[in-house]
Structure formats: structure tokens, C-alpha cells
């Protein structure tokens, strides 16, 4: 059944269908509808909805609920995500699965509530302190938003690595028809023998990110990084659109990826051989497929709602095999397809 | 790290044994530190109530960070000050568990003030053990929010000047004003009588949780002999004579 939903609502419904039963939040625009949806629907599914006193508290409640073995989520927008970074680092260090949704707005500081992509570094390079990564997924449609939230829960469980959905205000607010995926039955959710559930008939379980011995801690982190390498091998996701014969390929994710799809269609109508490469997993970043693309496409134009953050990963992947110009907008300004097309035309000839 | 239990000779019955809910790990506290007494009291309470198999502890950041090594129950190590939020998450996720946090005064009354106040105000059905030693023990004896006026610490080398650093924060009095909490009490462990009273208070705080009464906090005015630069007996006397002036003992809120 297709239903009309906002991106924020679809992410909330996706979480509920994924078996999320503890959700902790602190209000912030532009993800308010997600909070409201959870407040209305999660208790009906026997879940816990709790509005915390801050994002710091909310993420630490997630830490507790994850430790207790429940699928759990929090959502926020950029300034709130900054506050969650301490807790996210602890989740990563303690190997707890959890999902964090960031409906990005423009920053730094209080910035504004318009859509932006300025938190890419924070999401994909760690963000909090220490040597860790998050699984980061970036939807570009409302449908994909629901699906990726569910995938985030599965991946986070499978690898015991927290996962982040990196969306933006545009995607959060827009309404689209969605074919909601089937709920995940409780028995399909992986068991959690490591959770704190009472040390009855087994040795105590301890959830901790702490080890004073550098050699022991090194081993813990080596195991963590082995997991990250496995994720990099198995969980890279991206979409290519009209790249087969392209002379120029746009590289963009999320809302910008969606706008660039329109740009490709317009360019094609004008006879320009333009395609789109849209990373879906921002970490692991689809470096290999992008490198392959760079071997046959002379120009890869990165377009972001930022001063150029993913652009760094594009250049690292391409390593000079193709030209890698950049076009970005700042402060919550979203370029129109025509503006991007104008930029495209600087690099291709009809 | 393990200890050997002394065996009583034939004809003698042991009257002081290691609580069952403690592991074999040796405490990491300094000699004479009140943390050692309080940790043991906690274990005795868990033993007495027979709840070790459904208890989850939350270890703070501070001198009690290794608490998870001392107990035979499940444990979660929390970020500095966040224990009450973590406890909320655990208890809400699984209300059948008995959840306690153990926190120092820097942890609970400085960096974690918001998490503590709001967990108390929500009446979270958890048990909080609050060790008020008027100092940051673990980081080397800096001023805590509870440091007494005029008290020398490494960050108040001339003594705490209330004009620039404020007054000792009476967290329990503040919490007792709220509707949420079921039980707020202040105890001490500097002599046998007070140890026994503190023990009873800890048991009550757990009993409340078992009965679903809600947020219960036992503050214990404690000594950090290392940073007071006093012998353990002198440090105990210092608590009795100096600290209790600012932190009078007794129940601050009891909801029956
Ligand atoms: C976010 C953060 N800030 C600072 C520290 C450093 N730190 C470790 S323990 C501590 C204070 C502990 O004092 P208290 O809570 O009173 O416990 P005590 O050691 O006295 O038992 C501090 C500031 C930290 N670990 N994390
Ligand atoms: S530093 Fe103070 S509080 Fe910490 S263990 Fe030593 S005596 Fe106890």
C-alpha cells in the first residue's frame, strides 16, 4: 500500500518497522515531525518514547537502552548532533548498535533551519573523539529514507557499530508516496548475548569503552578496525544514473543527489552526455566504483550543499584519474537544477 | 588480581566475610578511602536483597570507574556525569532489572547535574549512590562543586573563595524540593554507627526500586584521605567535624 508521507515521518515509521522500541529525543527543527510521529506511534507498539532534557541525555539514554539489548534510536539536527558526539563515541567504543538520524541544517553555530550538508565530515570521519567510524547512509527520496533507516538497524546490529542516517531539512519536510517495507518480525532481530540483562546462569556482562592498558586497548581497536574493513568490503552502496556514455558525471548525495538527477535529465534533453553517481553509503564511501568511473569519464563534478566536504573523498578516490571540479552552495541555499546545469556547461561541450 | 578468603579455624565461625556479590578483584581505591566502605555496603545490600542476578550497575568516571570489576553483576560504564541518563535508558528498556548508579560529586553534581536533576524529576525508578568527598579524587584533587569554603585543593591553592567559585552545592537539598523523587537521604561512613545507618539507607533505596516507588538517592559524605593529605582516621574526623557543617546528615525526603 502506498501512503503519502514526509521524509521525517517515513524515517520514524521505518524505525518502528525495524523493531526500534526505545526512542529518545530533544526537539529541534527541521526534524520535528519525526519526534511527533514517534510520540504518537511508538507507545502503541509497546515501545518507549521519552523526551530527554538535552541531546546529551538523549544519546546516553540510547547508550543505556542499547546496552540493555533493545533496538534504539535518537534523531536530531546539526547543533543537537554536535551535543550527541560524546555519547556516539562511547557507543562506538563500547560496540553498541544504535541508529542516529541527523536531519542536517545549515551551520556552523545556530546557523539556520534550511537544508545543508555541512555535517559530512562530522558524520563520516568520526565526529566525536577517538579512532572510530559510523556507518553513514544518505537517502535522497522519502521511500529510500524509510528503507535506509531499516537497513541502518540491520547493519548496526550485524557489525555492532552505530549507524547514522544523514538526511537534510529538504528531505525531512518533503512529502512523497511511499511503499512501506514489511516490518521486521521480532524473531529476525539478532539475539544479544552480550547485553546487560541480569547475570543469571552466566558470567556478568560488562559494557564499557574503557581499558587503561594500551596494549589491550590496541587489540580491542584492532578488532574494531577489522570490522570496519569488513564493512568497507561488503556494505558499499551507491547508484549510477546515465553514466554509461557520460562525458561528465555529477557526484552528489541526498537532496543534492536528487536535484542532480533532474539536472541529468535536462542535460540529456539538450544532448549533453551527463550522468550521476550518487553515494548512498557515505561511510563506507564508494571509492572503488568511483575510481573505476574516473578511468572512463573525464570530468567528475561534485555538487554539495557545503563548501566541499565529500569532495575530499571524491578526490582521494579518483587520485587524479579525472578532473574533479566542485560546485557548492552555503548557508542553506539550495541551487536550482538550472544553476547546476550552468555549472555543468562550463565543463562539457555540446 | 585476586584475594584469598581466610578460612576460620575449627570451632570458630567467620563473622566478617566477603559479600557474595563481590568478585575476587581487589579494590583499586587508596588505603582508607571511604569509597571502599561504600562499595562494600552496596555489595552487602545487594546480597541481603538477593538481587545480584537481576541487577545492573553503572560505573561512573571517577575513582569508582573500576566498579564493574568488583561486582558479580552486569555493569555498564558511563560517560562522565551521564550515569542517570544511562540508567534511565536501561530501566526503560527493561523495567525488570534493578538499576543503580554510583557517582562522585564531580560526576553527579557538576558535569552531570542536568542528567541527575531530570532523572530525579521524572521519578525514574532507579537507585543512585552519590559519594560526596568534596573533591575530584581521580584527576588529582581539584575543586569539586561540593568543596568547602576555604578548603585547599590543587585548583584553589589559597582555599576555595566563595566570591569567585561559589558555595558548596547541596544537591540532595535541591533534589528533595522536587515532586519526583521517592527518597533522598544523606549519610556518612566515618564510624561504625554511621556505617550501619548508611547500610540501612542503601537497602531502603533498593527496596524502593523493587517496590516501584521511584527515584531514590543516598548521598554519602565521604573522605578522600589522599587529597585531604590526612591519615584515614584524621580524614574521618575531618568529615565529622568539617564536612557535616555544610552537609548535615539525615533524610531529606521520604515518600511512603
Ligand atoms: C568529559 C570528561 N571531562 C573530564 C574528565 C576527567 N575526569 C575524570 S574523573 C573526574 C572527576 C571525578 O571526580 P568525582 O566525580 O568527584 O569522583 P571521585 O574521583 O572523587 O570519586 C574528571 C573531571 C573525563 N573523564 N571526562
Ligand atoms: S584519590 Fe581519594 S577518592 Fe580516590 S581512591 Fe584515593 S582516597 Fe579515594
Q: Is-contact A20 A73, C-beta < 8 A? A: yes
Between CA A33 and CA A42 the distance in angstroms is: 13
Q: From the alpha carbon of B133, which atom of ligand 1 is closest? A: 20
Closest ligand by atom to B35 CA: 2
Strands, sheet with B216-221, edge to edge from the N-terminal-most edge strand = A206-207, B74-77, B55-59, B98-104, B127-132, B216-221, B183-188, B250-254
Q: Supply angle C-alpha B101, B198, B180, rounded to 5.
A: 50
* pLDDT of B1 over the 50 cut: no
Asked if the Cβ–Cβ distance from B94 to A68 is below 8 Å, we say: yes
Asked if the Cβ–Cβ distance from B90 to A67 is below 8 Å, we say: yes
Asked if the Cβ–Cβ distance from B88 to A61 is below 8 Å, we say: yes
Q: What is the average pLDDT across A267-296?
A: 98
pLDDT at B6: 64
For chain A, the domains span 2-198+222-234, 239-345
| Chain A residue with the nearest C-alpha to that of B59 | A208
Q: Is B208 helix (H, G, I), strand (E, B) or coil?
A: helix
For helices A310-318 and A287-296, angle between their N-to-C axes, nearest 10 degrees? 60
Cβ atoms within 10 Å, residue B215? 29
Pocket test for ligand 1, best of B29, B138, B143, B153 (most atoms within 8 A of CB): B138
Q: Is-contact A192 A63, C-beta < 8 A? A: no
Q: Is-contact B105 B146, C-beta < 8 A? A: yes
Cβ atoms within 10 Å, residue B4? 6
Sort out which chain B residues have CB atoms less than 8 A from A94's CB and list them: 77
CA–centroid distance, B233 to ligand 1, in Å, is 25
Q: What is the average pLDDT across A181-198?
A: 97
Asked if the Cβ–Cβ distance from B75 to A208 is below 8 Å, we say: yes
Q: Is-contact B217 B183, C-beta < 8 A? A: yes
Q: In DSSP terms, which residues pair with A238 in a beta bridge?
A: A279
pLDDT in tens, B109-148: 999 999 999 999 999 999 999 999 999 999 999 999 999 9
Cβ atoms within 10 Å, residue B182? 22
Whether ligand 1 lies within 6 angstroms of the CB of B102 is answered as no
pLDDT at A1: 79
Q: Which helix (H) or strand (E) holds A76?
A: strand A72-76
Q: In DSSP terms, which residues pair with A175 in a beta bridge?
A: A6
Q: Is-contact B85 B113, C-beta < 8 A? A: no
| Chain B residue with the nearest C-alpha to that of A49 | B92
Q: Where are the beta strands (DSSP E) in B74-159?
A: 74-77, 98-104, 127-132, 135-136, 142-143
Helices (H) and strands (E) in chain A, counts: 12, 16
Q: Supply angle C-alpha A52, A58, A59, rounded to 5.
A: 175
Q: Is A256 helix (H, G, I), strand (E, B) or coil?
A: helix
Question: CA of A228 to nearest chain B CA: how many angstroms apart?
Answer: 23
pLDDT at B2: 47
Judge residue A334's burial from the number of C-beta atoms within 10 Å of its C-beta, 0-12 exposed, 13-18 middle, 19 or more buried: middle
CA–centroid distance, B135 to ligand 2, in Å, is 9
The DSSP letter of residue A316 is: H
The DSSP letter of residue B83 is: H
* pLDDT of A122 over the 90 cut: yes
ipTM over 0.90: yes
A94 in contact with B, Cβ within 8 Å: yes
On average, the pLDDT of chain B sits at: 96
Q: Is A274 helix (H, G, I), strand (E, B) or coil?
A: strand
pLDDT in tens, A299-332: 999 999 999 999 999 999 999 999 999 999 999 9
Q: What is the average pLDDT across B144-169?
A: 98
Cβ atoms within 10 Å, residue A234? 11
C-alpha atoms less than 13 angstroms from C-alpha of B166 in its C-beta half-sphere: 9
Residue that the C-alpha cell 553503572 belongs to:
B58
**C-alpha B158: how far from its chain's center?**
28
Residue A193 φ/ψ, nearest 5 degrees: -65, -15
Band (B16; pLDDT cuts 50, 70, 90): confident
Between CA B254 and CA A173 the distance in angstroms is: 48
* pLDDT of B4 over the 60 cut: no
Q: Is-contact B76 A68, C-beta < 8 A? A: no
Q: Is-contact B88 B119, C-beta < 8 A? A: yes
Between CA B114 and CA A57 the distance in angstroms is: 8
Closest ligand by atom to B229 CA: 2
Contacts of B112-116 with C-beta under 8 Å, sequence gap 24+, read B112/B80, B112/B81, B112/B82, B112/B83, B112/B84, B113/B81, B113/B171, B114/A53, B114/A54, B114/A56, B114/A57, B115/A53, B115/A56, B115/A57, B115/A60, B115/B81, B115/B82, B115/B83, B115/B84, B115/B85, B116/B84, B116/B171, B116/B175
Q: In DSSP terms, which residues pair with A300 in a beta bridge?
A: A249
Question: CA of B93 to nearest chain A CA: how many angstroms apart?
Answer: 5
Could you give the percent of chain A with pLDDT greater than 70? 100
pLDDT in tens, A38-68: 999 999 999 999 999 999 999 999 999 999 9
* pLDDT of B5 over the 70 cut: no
CATH number of the A239-345 domain: 3.40.50.920
* pLDDT of A275 over the 50 cut: yes
Closest ligand by atom to B226 CA: 2
Q: Is A221 helix (H, G, I), strand (E, B) or coil?
A: helix
Whether ligand 2 lies within 6 angstroms of the CB of B132 is answered as no
pLDDT in tens, A211-252: 999 999 999 999 999 999 999 999 999 999 999 999 999 999
Could you give the percent of chain B with pLDDT greater than 70? 98
Q: Which helix (H) or strand (E) holds A83?
A: helix A78-93
* pLDDT of B21 over the 50 cut: yes
Write down the H helix ranges in A142-213: 142-159, 169-173
On average, the pLDDT of chain A sits at: 98
pLDDT at A349: 76
**Could you check whether the bond before residue A246 is cis, i.e. omega within 30 degrees of 0?**
no
Whose CA is closest to A248, among A287, A327, A302, A292? Answer: A302
CA–centroid distance, B38 to ligand 2, in Å, is 12
pLDDT in tens, B45-75: 999 999 999 999 999 999 999 999 999 999 9
Q: In DSSP terms, which residues pair with B131 in a beta bridge?
A: B104, B220
B196: its cell numbers? 550501619
B111: its cell numbers? 558535569
pLDDT in tens, B70-123: 999 999 999 999 999 999 999 999 999 999 999 999 999 999 999 999 999 999
Band (A350; pLDDT cuts 50, 70, 90): low
- How far from each other are the two terminal CA atoms of chain B, in whole angstroms? 43
The class that CATH gives domain B34-254 is alpha beta
Q: From the alpha carbon of B131, which atom of ligand 2 is closest? A: 3
Domains A2-198+222-234 and A239-345 belong to one CATH topology: yes
In CATH, which of 3.30.2010.20, 1.10.287.620, 3.40.50.970, 1.10.443.10 is domain A2-198+222-234?
3.40.50.970
Pocket test for ligand 2, best of B103, B227, B229 (most atoms within 8 A of CB): B227
Amino acid at each position: 500500500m502506498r501512503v503519502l508521507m514526509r521524509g521525517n515521518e517515513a524515517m520514524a515509521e521505518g524505525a518502528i518497522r525495524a523493531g526500534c522500541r526505545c526512542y529518545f529525543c530533544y526537539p529541534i527543527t527541521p526534524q520535528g515531525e519525526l519526534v511527533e510521529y514517534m510520540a504518537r506511534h511508538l507507545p502503541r507498539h509497546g515501545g518507549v518514547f521519552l523526551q530527554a532534557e538535552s541531546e546529551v541525555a538523549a544519546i546516553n539514554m540510547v547508550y543505556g537502552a542499547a546496552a540493555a539489548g533493545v533496538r534504539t534510536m535518537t534523531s536530531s539536527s546539526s547543533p543537537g548532533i554536535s551535543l550527541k558526539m560524546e555519547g556516539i563515541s562511547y557507543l562506538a567504543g563500547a560496540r553498541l548498535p544504535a541508529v542516529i538520524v541527523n536531519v542536517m541544517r545549515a551551520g556552523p553555530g545556530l546557523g539556520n533551519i534550511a537544508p545543508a550538508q555541512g555535517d559530512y565530515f562530522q558524520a563520516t570521519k568520526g565526529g566525536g573523539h577517538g579512532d572510530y567510524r559510523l556507518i553513514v547512509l544518505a537517502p535522497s527520496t522519502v521511500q529510500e529514507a524509510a528503507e535506509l533507516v531499516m537497513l541502518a538497524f540491520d547493519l548496526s546490529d550485524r557489525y555492532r557499530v552505530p549507524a547514522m542516517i544523514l538526511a537534510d531539512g529538504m528531505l525531512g519536510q518533503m512529502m512523497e508516496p511511499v511503499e512501506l517495507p514489511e516490518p521486521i518480525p521480532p524473531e529476525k532481530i539478532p539475539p544479544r548475548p552480550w547485553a546487560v540483562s541480569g547475570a543469571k546462569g552466566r558470567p556478568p556482562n560488562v559494557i564499557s569503552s574503557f581499558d587503561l592498558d594500551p596494549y589491550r586497548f590496541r587489540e580491542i581497536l584492532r578488532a574494531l578496525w577489522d570490522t570496519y574493513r569488513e564493512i568497507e568490503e561488503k556494505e558499499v552502496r551507491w547508484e549510477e544514473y546515465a553514466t554509461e556514455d557520460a562525458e561528465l558525471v555529477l557526484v552528489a548525495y541526498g537532496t543534492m543527489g536528487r536535484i542532480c538527477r533532474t539536472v541529468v535529465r535536462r542535460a540529456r534533453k539538450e544532448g549533453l552526455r551527463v550522468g550521476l553517481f550518487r553515494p548512498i553509503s557515505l561511510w563506507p564511501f564508494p571509492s572503488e566504483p568511483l575510481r573505476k568511473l574516473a578511468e572512463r569519464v573525464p570530468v567528475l563534478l561534485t555538487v554539495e550543499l557545503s563548501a566541499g566536504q565529500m569532495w575530499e573523498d571524491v578526490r582521494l578516490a579518483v587520485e587524479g584519474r579525472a578532473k574533479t571540479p566542485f560546485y557548492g552552495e552555503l548557508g542553506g541555499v539550495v541551487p536550482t537544477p538550472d544553476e547546476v546545469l550552468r555549472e555543468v556547461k562550463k565543463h562539457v561541450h555540446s | 588480581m585476586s584475594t584469598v578468603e581466610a578460612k576460620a579455624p575449627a570451632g570458630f565461625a567467620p563473622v566478617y566475610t566477603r559479600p557474595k556479590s563481590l568478585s575476587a578483584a581487589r579494590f583499586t581505591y587508596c588505603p582508607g578511602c571511604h569509597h571502599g566502605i561504600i562499595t562494600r555496603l552496596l555489595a552487602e545490600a545487594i546480597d541481603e536483597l538477593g538481587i545480584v542476578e537481576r541487577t545492573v550497575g553503572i560505573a561512573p568516571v571517577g575513582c569508582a570507574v573500576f566498579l564493574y570489576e568488583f561486582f558479580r553483576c552486569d555493569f555498564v560504564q558511563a560517560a562522565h556525569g551521564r550515569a542517570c541518563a544511562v540508567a534511565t535508558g536501561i530501566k526503560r528498556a527493561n523495567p525488570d532489572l534493578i538499576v543503580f548508579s554510583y557517582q562522585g560529586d564531580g560526576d553527579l553534581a557538576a558535569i552531570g547535574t542536568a542528567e541527575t536533576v531530570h532523572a530525579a524529576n521524572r521519578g525514574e525508578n532507579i537507585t543512585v549512590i552519590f559519594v560526596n568527598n568534596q573533591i575530584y579524587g581521580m584527576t588529582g584533587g581539584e575543586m569539586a562543586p561540593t568543596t568547602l569554603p576555604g578548603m585547599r585543593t590543587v585548583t584553589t591553592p589559597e582555599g576555595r573563595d566563595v566570591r569567585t567559585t561559589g558555595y558548596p552545592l547541596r544537591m540532595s537539598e535541591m533534589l528533595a524540593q522536587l515532586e519526583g523523587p521517592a527518597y533522598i537521604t544523606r549519610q556518612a561512613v566515618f564510624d561504625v554507627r554511621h556505617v550501619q545507618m548508611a547500610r540501612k539507607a542503601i537497602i531502603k533505596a533498593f527496596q524502593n526500586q523493587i517496590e516501584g516507588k521511584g527515584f531514590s538517592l543516598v548521598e554519602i559524605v565521604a573522605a578522600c584521605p589522599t587529597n585531604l593529605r590526612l591519615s584515614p582516621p584524621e580524614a574521618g574526623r575531618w568529615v565529622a567535624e568539617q564536612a557535616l557543617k555544610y552537609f548535615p546528615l539525615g533524610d531529606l525526603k521520604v515518600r511512603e
